[in-house]
């Protein structure tokens, strides 16, 4: 992970041209949505990520990861080659993401059990949506408030920008396997 100070493109002010403004320290989910909606339209960000469309990979990956000096958020740029997707998962923090280039597909899930049995979770898909450039931001709340998967079923590479708040525990979140009614912690 790198801090904002280590990346000349992402700066806390706009005194220099072609710099992106870093999110404010201690930002909350509402501010994250507003920030992402502006960020994905910034020419400096688009110039940084556009060349990534030409890279080849068999799986999705995080190409940039910035962490606030006070730990109040992390900002990540994901690259989604065609046909890639995450597992069904949640996060130990609030989160928001916006599609910057191409389109990505999100599925949301609801947990049907009460969480009282270790490593067990029954899920039901509640909705799905394709997110395109300019569609705004999707948000998740910690744990059961944001069980989802994200992927790129299209034939073109897509790029999304994700902003996460501070973790509420020592884990990064949980991964789910509905075919086995299984859930497990995902280490940070």
> pLDDT tens across 109-137, in order?
999 999 999 999 999 999 999 999 999 99
CATH classification code of 2-187: 2.60.120.10
Residue 94 pLDDT exceeds 60: yes
Contact 155, 103 (CB under 8 A): no
Per-residue pLDDT of 14-58, as tens digits, reads 455 555 667 777 788 988 999 999 999 988 888 889 888 888 899
Bridge partners of residue 66, in order along the sequence: 2, 75
**What's the whole-number average pLDDT of the chain?**
88
User: What pLDDT is recorded for position 67?
Assistant: 85
A 10 A CB-CB count for 59 gives 11
Q: So where are the chain's domains?
A: 2-187
Q: What share of the chain is helix, strand, coil (3-state, %, to 5)?
A: 15, 45, 40
User: What pLDDT is recorded for position 19?
Assistant: 56
In the block, tokens 């997707």 appear at: 85
User: What pLDDT is recorded for position 28?
Assistant: 86
3-state secondary structure of 143: helix
User: What pLDDT is recorded for position 122?
Assistant: 97
């Amino acid at each position: 992970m790198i801090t904002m100070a280590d990346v000349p493109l992402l700066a806390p002010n706009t005194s220099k041209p072609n710099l992106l403004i870093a999110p404010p320290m201690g930002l909350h989910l509402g501010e994250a949505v507003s920030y992402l909606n502006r960020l994905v339209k910034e020419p400096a960000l688009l110039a940084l990520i556009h060349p990534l469309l030409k890279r080849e990979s068999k799986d999705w990956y995080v190409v940039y990861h910035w962490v606030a000096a006070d730990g109040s958020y992390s900002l990540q740029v994901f690259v989604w080659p065609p046909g890639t997707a995450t597992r069904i998962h949640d996060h130990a923090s609030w989160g928001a993401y916006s599609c910057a280039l191409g389109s990505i597909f999100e599925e949301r899930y609801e947990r049907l059990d009460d969480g009282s049995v270790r490593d067990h979770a029954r899920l039901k898909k509640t909705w799905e949506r394709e997110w395109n450039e300019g569609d705004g931001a999707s948000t998740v709340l910690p744990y059961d408030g944001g069980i989802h998967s994200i992927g790129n079923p299209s034939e073109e590479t897509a790029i999304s920008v994700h902003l996460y708040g501070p973790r509420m525990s020592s884990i990064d979140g949980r991964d789910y396997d509905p075919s086995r009614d299984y859930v497990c912690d995902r280490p940070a």
